[in-house]
Amino acid sequence: MSTLAAARTPQTQPAEANSDFQQFLSAYGIELSPQQQRAAATAYGPTLLTAVPGSGKTTTLTARLGYMIRRCGIDPSRICALTFTNAAANDMKKRFIELFESNGTNDGEGITFATINSLASTIYHYECEKVKGASPRKVAETKTIYGIAREILKPSAGDKKDSPSPSESEIKEALTLISKMKNELVVNNRRRRSNWSGSDLALLDAYEHEMRERSVIDFDDQLVFAFDIIRKGGETARHFREQFQYWSIDEAQDCSRLQHALLYLLAGKAGNLFMVGDEDQSIYGFRGASPSLMPGVDTRYANPLTLKMEINYRSGKSIVRAADAFAKRMDNRIDKNMVAARSDEGAIKIVDVTSEGNRSKTITDILKDSPSAAVLFHDNDSAIPLIDTMLRSNVPFSVKKKDEVTFFTERTVEDVTAFLKLSLDPRDAESFERIYGKANYYVGKDEVDRAIRSSKKSGRPITDELIAIYGKNDKGDNRASAGQNFANLIKAVAKARMPKDAIATLRSKGYGDYLREKSISDSKVKILECLAAKERTVAGFLKRLEKLEQEIANHAGTPAPGAATITTCHASKGLEFDTVIIADAYDGHFPSTKKTDVSPEEQLQEERRLFYVAITRAKSQLYLLRTAGEKTTFIDEVSLTETGHDSPASPAKARPSLESLTTGYRGSKPTEIDCGKPIGKKMW
């Protein structure tokens, strides 16, 4: 970093008083609000711009880059603009070129538009190839990473040879945990390792060992290596600190401790680090996001400047009003007062639903008037009954590609389908092997193997062979009784007239007890019951499941005009829709009470932020489906706002008018907030 750049301090004068900046705006026909102007005119020093949803931050960031180059004389090759996705990086570069390069200049080619991971990869490769003359380890393919995780998780399911293989969702959860530990700087850090359980650390260590054995890495490893390389100093650290002296980071609230540490080491305590983020929209805590480490919040930075953009240009007044009041109930946040730029109210409609089937019908009815609406769910599985209804009703829709639906490979779903298959074909050895120990009837593995072999020879049902085996051995009446009880269960399921009744029988005669004993959620079994209610035979239901899985894959991708979008609240981040339907916000599900590695209060705050992100996707209409018989805390809070009740977080504070945010700059003093315990003097 040059001495001049390091010595510059954040500008404090209002942007309106900066004649050079005003000339710049006029020359390029750029229209910005005073708050946007203030942000775009800030070129130097550590700065946090906290921007509410729909505040035009991409436009502001693009204008800022143009001002830095065209008016401040900053070399574009010294600027690194980071985002979280390649699509976002390409979009910002495209916008810059469209706005500033009509005269034939190519400043956009000089700026480095990249993701944080691609920057880390560049650092790692530079160290290996330019400095050490070595070949960097290759990034493993997804199937390789999944295979490693699957092998590691097998022993954790039990040492018995009949222990089930981990499901796709269990593999994903394990890989997410590993990623979070890396992003929390747990690797090679004794102090941070002490915060994690022995089983979590064993998982991480086993995974790292297997990756080294194969001489491959994952994307998080690139970040870990880049951090270590810059932290240790040397030629690579000097090169990148000299090359990039101006840093712009979008979606900073989603940066992990590891990413923040890397950026701090590159930019320096008083460096030109411009971060745009909104802690109210930080929804990736499960991946290690740490918004408390942003400049203006983290005390490591020297004289950081905190700016705000509080005008929402996306949504109608009622939606903005409700979202702002909801946000004020969150903990550990910079105080913001979001107001709507639009003059129309928009609409929030709370609709009561009585059952899962009624929920799907209600949504399809809404879509008749708003066919391009987005239907947001807390998780992918909850959308399955709606998708089934829409397919049966020929309602056009799409699901996002990154919403990988794992419902059909979940352990409980495969268990239930195996029970049903065995009830149809009592000689189905594959299904029998999967579920013989999952009805709380403790049948031995050796006897199971013998029964299968005997069934193949005799053609009789496996359960009949099992009863015959237990009748001949001397292991006692308990085991013989278990074999008989299991056979009776399969016969009872087979006698059920309807597939829904078959699943209910299965739950009441053993499988339900098994799930409770193993502390396994029955939520997916309930979804199967909902789907089964629409079929008349077990065979037809099983075929429907196969077709449904294929149809969901066929509907993945960009929606056609006039088609609804079905996605999760997480995947909706960064998107906007004229009409948004939030389908499953009831307590225990959304907010979720699923056990995680954080405290219940931290989990609740993350769930609040997720709901806030979801409702701020709506431009004109927001539908909230309230489930009868369920507590709906988040929806009730929105309802209180709309009936005139103030948010308890700020009962005495008057809401600002739009005019107060557009008539001039109101100051830039950093807001003091409580973001938990201080990190201390030790580096990260």
- Note whether 548 and 356 are within 8 A (CB): no
β-pair partners for 352: 626
Q: What does the DSSP assignment read for 154-214?
A: HHHT-SSTTPPPPPHHHHHHHHHHHHHHHHTT-TT-HHHHTTS-HHHHHHHHHHHHHHHHT
Four-CA torsion 208, 213, 215, 219, nearest 10 degrees: -20
According to the annotation, is 54 in a ligand binding site? yes
Residues with Cβ < 8 Å from 481, sequence gap 6 or more?
Answer: none
Q: Are strands 47-51 and 397-399 parallel, antiparallel or unpaired?
A: unpaired
- Note whether 365 and 579 are within 8 A (CB): no
What whole-number distance in Å separates Cα of residue 422 and Cα of residue 430?
A: 9
Strand residues in 16-121 grouped as ranges (E):
47-51, 79-83, 112-115
Tokens of 640: 């209180």
Place of tokens 């730029």: 341
Helix residue spans in 589-657 (DSSP H): 600-615, 633-642
According to the annotation, is 56 in a ligand binding site? yes
* Burial of 406 from C-beta contacts in 10 A (0-12 / 13-18 / 19+): middle
According to the annotation, is 354 in a ligand binding site? no
For residue 210, give the amino acid letter.
E
According to the annotation, is 282 in a ligand binding site? no
What whole-number distance in Å separates Cα of residue 154 and Cα of residue 166?
A: 6
> Which residue from 79, 88, 97, 41 is spatially nearest to 252, judged by alpha carbons?
88
What whole-number distance in Å separates Cα of residue 596 and Cα of residue 171?
A: 16
According to the annotation, is 182 in a ligand binding site? no
The binding site comprises 51-58
The binding site for ATP comprises 51-58
